[in-house]
Amino acid sequence: MIREPRVSKVSLSPRLPVRPLLAMMTALALAACASAPVPTFDLSAPGNFTARGAGSGQMVVPIPTALAALDTEKILVEPAPGQITYLGDAQWGDRLPALLQARMIQAFENGSKLRRVARPGDGITAEYQLNIDIRTFGVRVENGTSTAVVELSAKIIGNAAGRILAAQVFSARVPVATVNGPSVAAALDAASNQVLVEIVRWASVRF
């Protein structure tokens, strides 16, 4: 009697354990989410206005000062008094102080037409310096209503005397219909434009 040879079955596609496979799939999904770009927004410089100049002096605008909560690309939201958070679906194109410095200088160029304002280190001999402190720049939620609030403190310094020649706080508020990236960025841009126009007009008659 001839016995038939035994044939061993070999699996060509071994199965992975379920738990490691699920862990791998979860890691891939998280990596895909983490790599999704955050929508980026910019601030504009007001251009459709005029400001009267008083003299021929030159002025520099350093990068504005700000607390750490505002010295970032993130867009700040205050959901309640004393609470700070940030929009998860939006960011500025640069750190807020650097962005405001650029738009402030452009606002002077657009409105006063004097073109006598520059950054420190641009090679001009400036008689004046405009110091800006960012007090508030974000969305404030109060009694269920969301508002874009921009508040800047401005000081004109006489470089020769080293003293404050003029100082004032400027603020603007614009309603926010929906707290999302496009709506918040648009409202903050509108509020920022109002404040920049006021600062340019205020400062232009003083140098």
- Tell me, yes or no, whether 137 lies in a domain: yes
**Residue ranges making up the domain that contains 113:** 40-204
Q: pLDDT > 90: what percent of the chain?
A: 64
Chain segment 41-88, per-residue pLDDT in tens: 999 999 888 887 766 788 999 999 999 999 999 999 999 999 999 999
Chain segment 27-44, per-residue pLDDT in tens: 555 444 556 789 999 999
Q: Determine the Cα–Cα distance for residues 115 and 186; give it in Å rounded to an integer.
A: 27
User: Which pLDDT score is estimated for 121?
Assistant: 86
Q: Map residue 172 onto helix, strand or coil.
A: strand
Q: Which of 13-17, 117-121, 188-192 has the lowest mean pLDDT?
A: 13-17
Alpha helices in the chain, H assignment, sequence order: 18-34, 96-112, 181-204
- Tell me, yes or no, whether 1 lies in a domain: no
Per the DSSP assignment, residues forming a β-bridge with 91 are 40, 74
- Mean pLDDT taken over the chain: 86
Question: What is the total count of domains within the chain?
Answer: 1
Write the CATH number for 125. Answer: 3.40.50.10610
Q: Are residues 165 and 76 in contact, defined by beta-carbon separation less than 8 angstroms?
A: no
Q: Which of 9-18, 60-69, 98-107 has the lowest mean pLDDT?
A: 9-18
